[in-house]
Amino acid sequence: MAVVLEEAEWRARAAAHAARVSRWTGPHRERRRRGEPHPVLDFMFTYYSFRPGQLERWLPGPGVALRGAHELLAVPGFVRDGDTVRLDPTVLPGRTVDSARFVRDLLAATAARPPRLSCFGLHEWAMVYRTDSPRHAHVPLRLGPAGTDAVLESLPVHCTHYDAFRFFTVAAQPRNALVPTRAEQVANEQPGCLHATMDLYRWSSRLAPATPSELIADCFELAVAVRELDMRASPYDLADLGYPPVCIETPAGRAEYARNQAAFARRARPLRSRLIALCTELLGPELLGPELLGPELLGADVLA
Protein backbone atom coordinates (compact mmCIF):
# COMPACT_ATOMS: atom_id res chain seq x y z
CA MET A 1 0.00 0.00 0.00
CA ALA A 2 1.49 3.32 -1.09
CA VAL A 3 1.80 6.27 1.27
CA VAL A 4 -0.38 9.09 -0.10
CA LEU A 5 0.93 12.65 0.05
CA GLU A 6 -1.37 15.60 -0.43
CA GLU A 7 -0.26 18.21 -2.93
CA ALA A 8 0.72 20.83 -0.34
CA GLU A 9 2.92 18.33 1.48
CA TRP A 10 4.84 16.96 -1.47
CA ARG A 11 5.29 20.39 -3.05
CA ALA A 12 6.78 21.60 0.23
CA ARG A 13 9.19 18.65 0.19
CA ALA A 14 10.07 19.44 -3.41
CA ALA A 15 10.82 23.05 -2.54
CA ALA A 16 12.94 22.04 0.45
CA HIS A 17 14.92 19.62 -1.72
CA ALA A 18 15.57 22.26 -4.41
CA ALA A 19 16.70 24.74 -1.75
CA ARG A 20 19.01 22.15 -0.20
CA VAL A 21 20.92 21.38 -3.39
CA SER A 22 20.90 24.99 -4.66
CA ARG A 23 23.87 25.55 -2.33
CA TRP A 24 25.90 23.79 -5.04
CA THR A 25 23.87 24.14 -8.24
CA GLY A 26 23.54 27.93 -8.00
CA PRO A 27 27.28 28.69 -7.64
CA HIS A 28 28.07 26.12 -10.33
CA ARG A 29 25.79 27.90 -12.80
CA GLU A 30 27.38 31.24 -11.90
CA ARG A 31 30.90 29.92 -12.40
CA ARG A 32 29.92 28.39 -15.71
CA ARG A 33 28.35 31.68 -16.83
CA ARG A 34 31.62 33.48 -16.00
CA GLY A 35 33.77 30.76 -17.58
CA GLU A 36 35.45 30.21 -14.21
CA PRO A 37 36.62 26.62 -13.59
CA HIS A 38 36.70 25.14 -10.10
CA PRO A 39 39.18 22.26 -9.70
CA VAL A 40 37.28 20.71 -6.80
CA LEU A 41 33.56 21.23 -7.34
CA ASP A 42 33.28 21.13 -11.15
CA PHE A 43 33.91 17.40 -10.84
CA MET A 44 30.44 16.94 -9.36
CA PHE A 45 28.82 18.26 -12.54
CA THR A 46 31.26 17.19 -15.24
CA TYR A 47 32.48 13.73 -14.25
CA TYR A 48 29.02 12.77 -13.05
CA SER A 49 26.39 13.13 -15.76
CA PHE A 50 23.43 14.22 -13.62
CA ARG A 51 22.71 17.81 -14.61
CA PRO A 52 21.95 20.58 -12.07
CA GLY A 53 18.32 20.71 -13.15
CA GLN A 54 17.97 16.97 -12.64
CA LEU A 55 19.54 17.22 -9.20
CA GLU A 56 17.09 19.97 -8.24
CA ARG A 57 13.98 18.08 -9.34
CA TRP A 58 12.16 16.22 -6.57
CA LEU A 59 10.71 12.75 -7.15
CA PRO A 60 9.28 10.50 -4.42
CA GLY A 61 10.65 7.06 -5.29
CA PRO A 62 8.60 3.86 -4.99
CA GLY A 63 5.81 3.34 -2.48
CA VAL A 64 4.59 6.96 -2.50
CA ALA A 65 1.48 8.26 -4.31
CA LEU A 66 1.00 11.97 -4.94
CA ARG A 67 -2.19 13.94 -5.31
CA GLY A 68 -2.15 16.82 -7.80
CA ALA A 69 1.01 15.60 -9.55
CA HIS A 70 -0.30 15.05 -13.05
CA GLU A 71 2.85 16.63 -14.54
CA LEU A 72 4.78 13.55 -13.37
CA LEU A 73 2.88 11.39 -15.84
CA ALA A 74 5.44 12.63 -18.38
CA VAL A 75 8.24 11.03 -16.33
CA PRO A 76 9.07 7.42 -17.34
CA GLY A 77 7.77 4.94 -14.79
CA PHE A 78 5.04 7.16 -13.32
CA VAL A 79 1.42 6.09 -13.76
CA ARG A 80 -2.04 7.26 -12.76
CA ASP A 81 -3.52 5.40 -9.79
CA GLY A 82 -7.03 6.65 -9.13
CA ASP A 83 -6.72 10.32 -8.21
CA THR A 84 -2.97 10.01 -7.52
CA VAL A 85 0.25 9.52 -9.47
CA ARG A 86 2.89 7.03 -8.36
CA LEU A 87 5.99 5.22 -9.58
CA ASP A 88 5.30 1.75 -11.01
CA PRO A 89 8.60 -0.20 -11.13
CA THR A 90 7.13 -2.67 -13.62
CA VAL A 91 6.94 -0.01 -16.35
CA LEU A 92 10.38 1.50 -15.82
CA PRO A 93 12.64 1.59 -18.92
CA GLY A 94 14.75 -1.53 -19.42
CA ARG A 95 17.97 0.43 -18.89
CA THR A 96 16.83 1.37 -15.37
CA VAL A 97 16.15 -2.28 -14.54
CA ASP A 98 19.55 -3.29 -15.93
CA SER A 99 21.19 -0.55 -13.85
CA ALA A 100 19.36 -1.73 -10.73
CA ARG A 101 20.66 -5.26 -11.25
CA PHE A 102 24.27 -4.09 -11.70
CA VAL A 103 24.14 -1.57 -8.86
CA ARG A 104 22.68 -4.16 -6.50
CA ASP A 105 25.42 -6.65 -7.34
CA LEU A 106 28.19 -4.06 -7.03
CA LEU A 107 27.02 -2.49 -3.77
CA ALA A 108 26.18 -5.80 -2.11
CA ALA A 109 29.66 -7.11 -2.91
CA THR A 110 31.24 -3.88 -1.68
CA ALA A 111 29.25 -3.91 1.56
CA ALA A 112 30.38 -7.47 2.31
CA ARG A 113 34.08 -6.48 2.38
CA PRO A 114 36.08 -4.75 5.11
CA PRO A 115 37.33 -1.25 4.24
CA ARG A 116 40.97 -0.85 3.21
CA LEU A 117 42.42 2.41 4.51
CA SER A 118 45.99 2.35 3.20
CA CYS A 119 45.80 3.95 -0.26
CA PHE A 120 46.35 7.51 1.10
CA GLY A 121 44.86 9.14 -2.00
CA LEU A 122 47.84 8.31 -4.17
CA HIS A 123 45.59 7.94 -7.21
CA GLU A 124 45.67 11.73 -7.68
CA TRP A 125 49.47 11.67 -7.53
CA ALA A 126 49.54 8.85 -10.08
CA MET A 127 47.47 11.01 -12.44
CA VAL A 128 50.26 13.60 -12.66
CA TYR A 129 53.26 11.28 -12.36
CA ARG A 130 55.98 12.08 -14.91
CA THR A 131 53.73 14.16 -17.13
CA ASP A 132 53.93 17.68 -18.50
CA SER A 133 50.12 17.82 -18.83
CA PRO A 134 48.46 17.49 -15.39
CA ARG A 135 44.68 17.40 -15.39
CA HIS A 136 44.43 20.73 -13.55
CA ALA A 137 47.19 22.56 -15.38
CA HIS A 138 46.13 25.96 -13.99
CA VAL A 139 46.69 24.82 -10.38
CA PRO A 140 50.28 24.55 -9.09
CA LEU A 141 51.69 21.39 -7.55
CA ARG A 142 52.54 21.82 -3.86
CA LEU A 143 55.89 20.02 -4.17
CA GLY A 144 56.62 20.72 -7.82
CA PRO A 145 56.88 17.99 -10.48
CA ALA A 146 60.03 16.34 -9.13
CA GLY A 147 58.80 16.37 -5.54
CA THR A 148 55.45 14.96 -6.60
CA ASP A 149 57.10 12.11 -8.50
CA ALA A 150 59.33 11.35 -5.51
CA VAL A 151 56.31 10.93 -3.21
CA LEU A 152 54.69 8.40 -5.53
CA GLU A 153 57.96 6.50 -5.82
CA SER A 154 58.38 6.36 -2.05
CA LEU A 155 55.03 4.77 -1.16
CA PRO A 156 53.19 1.60 -2.24
CA VAL A 157 50.31 2.28 -4.63
CA HIS A 158 47.25 0.06 -4.21
CA CYS A 159 44.28 1.57 -6.06
CA THR A 160 41.29 -0.78 -6.42
CA HIS A 161 38.98 1.56 -8.33
CA TYR A 162 38.90 1.20 -12.10
CA ASP A 163 37.61 4.71 -12.79
CA ALA A 164 40.53 6.18 -10.84
CA PHE A 165 43.14 3.81 -12.23
CA ARG A 166 42.20 4.53 -15.84
CA PHE A 167 43.39 8.13 -15.38
CA PHE A 168 46.86 7.10 -14.15
CA THR A 169 49.64 8.23 -16.43
CA VAL A 170 51.27 5.50 -18.49
CA ALA A 171 54.36 5.75 -16.30
CA ALA A 172 52.31 5.36 -13.10
CA GLN A 173 50.21 2.34 -14.07
CA PRO A 174 52.95 -0.28 -13.50
CA ARG A 175 53.47 1.07 -9.97
CA ASN A 176 49.96 -0.02 -8.93
CA ALA A 177 49.70 -3.32 -7.06
CA LEU A 178 46.91 -4.53 -9.37
CA VAL A 179 45.38 -3.68 -12.74
CA PRO A 180 41.70 -2.90 -12.13
CA THR A 181 39.38 -3.50 -15.08
CA ARG A 182 35.72 -2.71 -15.69
CA ALA A 183 34.98 -6.43 -15.90
CA GLU A 184 36.44 -6.94 -12.41
CA GLN A 185 34.78 -3.92 -10.79
CA VAL A 186 32.37 -5.99 -8.70
CA ALA A 187 35.26 -8.18 -7.51
CA ASN A 188 37.56 -5.24 -6.63
CA GLU A 189 35.38 -2.51 -5.14
CA GLN A 190 35.81 -1.98 -1.39
CA PRO A 191 34.08 0.41 1.03
CA GLY A 192 37.19 2.28 2.17
CA CYS A 193 37.78 3.66 -1.32
CA LEU A 194 36.92 7.35 -1.59
CA HIS A 195 35.84 6.97 -5.20
CA ALA A 196 33.56 4.05 -4.34
CA THR A 197 31.93 6.28 -1.74
CA MET A 198 31.58 9.20 -4.16
CA ASP A 199 30.09 6.83 -6.70
CA LEU A 200 27.09 6.24 -4.47
CA TYR A 201 25.92 9.50 -6.00
CA ARG A 202 26.52 8.07 -9.46
CA TRP A 203 24.46 4.98 -8.68
CA SER A 204 21.64 6.91 -7.01
CA SER A 205 21.34 9.16 -10.06
CA ARG A 206 21.70 6.22 -12.46
CA LEU A 207 18.52 4.75 -10.94
CA ALA A 208 16.56 7.97 -11.43
CA PRO A 209 13.66 8.62 -11.84
CA ALA A 210 13.08 5.74 -9.43
CA THR A 211 15.37 7.07 -6.67
CA PRO A 212 13.84 9.21 -3.91
CA SER A 213 15.38 12.63 -4.40
CA GLU A 214 16.29 12.92 -0.74
CA LEU A 215 18.50 9.85 -1.18
CA ILE A 216 20.15 11.40 -4.23
CA ALA A 217 20.78 14.57 -2.21
CA ASP A 218 22.24 12.59 0.69
CA CYS A 219 24.61 10.79 -1.69
CA PHE A 220 25.53 14.05 -3.43
CA GLU A 221 26.26 15.81 -0.13
CA LEU A 222 28.54 12.99 1.00
CA ALA A 223 30.26 12.92 -2.41
CA VAL A 224 31.05 16.64 -2.15
CA ALA A 225 32.67 16.15 1.26
CA VAL A 226 34.67 13.18 -0.02
CA ARG A 227 35.74 15.10 -3.11
CA GLU A 228 37.12 17.85 -0.87
CA LEU A 229 39.29 15.37 1.03
CA ASP A 230 40.29 13.75 -2.26
CA MET A 231 41.66 17.03 -3.55
CA ARG A 232 43.09 18.23 -0.24
CA ALA A 233 45.20 15.04 -0.21
CA SER A 234 46.18 15.51 -3.86
CA PRO A 235 49.47 17.05 -5.03
CA TYR A 236 47.71 20.29 -6.00
CA ASP A 237 48.04 23.50 -3.98
CA LEU A 238 44.43 24.53 -3.33
CA ALA A 239 44.96 26.57 -0.15
CA ASP A 240 43.99 29.82 -1.86
CA LEU A 241 40.60 28.27 -2.66
CA GLY A 242 40.03 27.37 0.98
CA TYR A 243 41.25 23.76 0.89
CA PRO A 244 44.23 23.30 3.25
CA PRO A 245 46.36 20.31 2.28
CA VAL A 246 46.35 16.89 3.88
CA CYS A 247 50.06 16.20 3.46
CA ILE A 248 50.03 12.47 2.78
CA GLU A 249 53.77 12.61 2.11
CA THR A 250 54.17 12.73 5.93
CA PRO A 251 53.16 10.12 8.56
CA ALA A 252 50.85 12.65 10.23
CA GLY A 253 49.15 13.43 6.94
CA ARG A 254 48.64 9.77 6.14
CA ALA A 255 47.12 9.20 9.57
CA GLU A 256 44.77 12.15 9.06
CA TYR A 257 43.75 10.83 5.66
CA ALA A 258 43.03 7.34 7.04
CA ARG A 259 40.92 8.77 9.89
CA ASN A 260 38.81 10.74 7.43
CA GLN A 261 38.62 7.77 5.07
CA ALA A 262 37.27 5.57 7.87
CA ALA A 263 34.71 8.22 8.85
CA PHE A 264 33.47 8.48 5.26
CA ALA A 265 33.20 4.68 5.05
CA ARG A 266 30.95 4.75 8.12
CA ARG A 267 28.80 7.53 6.64
CA ALA A 268 28.52 5.65 3.34
CA ARG A 269 27.29 2.41 4.87
CA PRO A 270 23.64 3.40 5.47
CA LEU A 271 23.45 5.08 2.06
CA ARG A 272 24.79 1.94 0.40
CA SER A 273 22.21 -0.10 2.30
CA ARG A 274 19.40 2.23 1.21
CA LEU A 275 20.49 1.87 -2.42
CA ILE A 276 20.63 -1.93 -2.15
CA ALA A 277 17.12 -1.88 -0.69
CA LEU A 278 15.92 0.38 -3.52
CA CYS A 279 17.34 -1.98 -6.13
CA THR A 280 15.69 -4.92 -4.39
CA GLU A 281 12.33 -3.13 -4.49
CA LEU A 282 12.69 -2.12 -8.14
CA LEU A 283 13.65 -5.59 -9.29
CA GLY A 284 11.18 -7.56 -7.21
CA PRO A 285 11.82 -10.95 -5.59
CA GLU A 286 11.28 -12.86 -8.81
CA LEU A 287 14.45 -11.30 -10.27
CA LEU A 288 16.58 -11.72 -7.15
CA GLY A 289 18.60 -14.73 -6.12
CA PRO A 290 17.97 -15.86 -2.52
CA GLU A 291 21.58 -15.06 -1.62
CA LEU A 292 20.85 -11.35 -2.19
CA LEU A 293 17.84 -11.09 0.10
CA GLY A 294 19.55 -11.76 3.43
CA PRO A 295 20.08 -9.16 6.17
CA GLU A 296 23.86 -9.54 5.95
CA LEU A 297 23.80 -7.83 2.54
CA LEU A 298 20.93 -5.42 3.05
CA GLY A 299 22.53 -4.20 6.27
CA ALA A 300 21.13 -3.44 9.69
CA ASP A 301 20.52 0.18 8.74
CA VAL A 302 17.82 -0.91 6.31
CA LEU A 303 16.25 -3.60 8.46
CA ALA A 304 16.23 -1.73 11.76
What mean pLDDT comes out for the span 21-50? 96
Q: Are 299 and 127 in contact (CB under 8 A)?
A: no
| C-beta atoms surrounding 36 within 10 Å | 10
pLDDT digits (tens, 9 = 90+) for 185-243: 999 999 999 999 999 999 999 999 999 999 999 999 999 999 999 999 999 999 999 99
- pTM surpassing 0.75? yes
pLDDT digits (tens, 9 = 90+) for 253-274: 999 999 999 999 999 999 999 9
Give the integer Cα–Cα distance in Å for 156 and 281. 41
Looking at the DSSP bridge assignments, the partners of residue 176 are 157
Sheet holding 3-5, edge to edge: 3-5, 64-67, 84-87, 78-81
Q: Write down the pLDDT at residue 59.
A: 98
Q: Write down the pLDDT at residue 132.
A: 86
Q: Are 230 and 264 in contact (CB under 8 A)?
A: no
**CA dist 277 to 133, 263, 266, 296, 298, Å?**
43, 22, 18, 12, 6
